[in-house]
Structure 1
Amino acid sequence: MTMTSITKKLALVAALLAAGTGAAHAADEIIRHRIPNSTFPISAAVEVPSSFTNVYLSGQVPPLQDATAPKNSAAAYGGDTKGQTVGVLKAIEKSLTGLGLTMGDVVKMQVFLVGDPAKDNKMDFAGFMEGYTQFFGTTAQPRLPVRSAMQVAALANPAYLVEIEVMAVRPAK
């Protein structure tokens, strides 16, 4: 074997190792698949590599926002669906921060909406989206989770119009 052929083989091995390192790095990235031909602010799918741990947050309901409003009234918890959504997402953001995570670490979201009496007891999806898009798909926080949203008959408190549960991920230590 000549010195030239050994050098070529070493160069080939080095190139293959370098390519493998890049592939390993790419395998450690979360992949968020957008909905084709859509600007709707959710992901169609999210791939999370095994090097991440899952963090499941319990369903979050609207926090008390107006103690002067009648007890168990929607006004006490943010009023309409948009106001309650913002309150819930702020509470989720606070919980995530306490765990060393951010809204950008959320990969899955389930949303439970009660029909709004002011909207003929139909869920106010537009109001929900107005609140949601303050936290997801923004310039400051562009990462989008997969998400389901559904109307439910009721939540634990008759004043609640919104409950949201999320799953976030973090790189394993």
Structure 2
Amino acid sequence: MTAKMFSPALAFALAGFAVSAPAHAQEIERTYSSPTATIASTASVPAGARLVFVSGTVPAPLDPANPNDLGDTRQQTISVLERIKATLEAQGLGLGDLVKLTVFLVGVPELEGRMDSAAMNEVFRTYFGTPEQPNRPTRSTIQIAALGRPGMYVEIEGIAAVAP
């Protein structure tokens, strides 16, 4: 198309769109299936946003003197989220900047080899969707056969985004 093919009205309308579109596109938008949903259904990240990929994070021992005691799924989820929080803070970010998490859970003996998603979700609700931190990321939770060490039940990786 040549410039002669555009009418002045169309050119004005397109110019207005070009000016107003970036202001709307500067926000990270999340949608939820309900106001009380634990996770977001979608997260839309605008072009030019800074993305930070957080590698799979595993729990620290409950007591450094006993490196094999990692605790149960609940305790491990707290440990992992605290470690992710520290990693993000070192980048000038916070848990509210997470737009996607992938949670890997190993089945536990007390649930006959099924993952303890209830314990993980209980902890998750104390970190996301709270008055102090209202953002909730999208999330996938997957049961896997094992992680790197016996007794390790939780690994979480994530993507954080900051709008330009």
Amino acid of the residue matched to residue 65 of structure 1?
L
Q: How far apart are the structure 2 equivalents of 1:130 and 1:68?
A: 28
Aligned residue for 1:29? 27
Identical aligned pairs, as a percentage?
Answer: 39
Amino acid of the residue matched to residue 148 of structure 2?
A
3-state SS of 1:58 partner: strand
CA drift of 1:38 comes to: 5.9
1:170 aligns with 2:157: no
Aligned residue for 1:105? 97
Aligned residue for 2:9? none
Aligned pair count? 151
Aligned residue for 2:5? none
Match of 1:116 among 105, 108, 118: 108
CA drift of 1:67 comes to: 3.4
Runs of 4+ that moved beyond 6 A? none
CA drift of 1:23 comes to: 3.6
CA drift of 1:20 comes to: 5.9
Q: How far apart are the structure 2 equivalents of 1:104 and 1:159?
A: 29
CA drift of 1:109 comes to: 0.2
Per the normalisation by structure 1, the TM-score is 0.81
Aligned residue for 1:65? 62
| Greater Rg over alpha carbons, structure | 1
Aligned residue for 2:151? 159
Q: How far apart are the structure 2 equivalents of 1:50 and 1:24?
A: 9
Deviations 1:20-40 (A, max 9, x none): 6554211111110111x4622
Deviations 1:52-73 (A, max 9, x none): 021101000001122354x53x
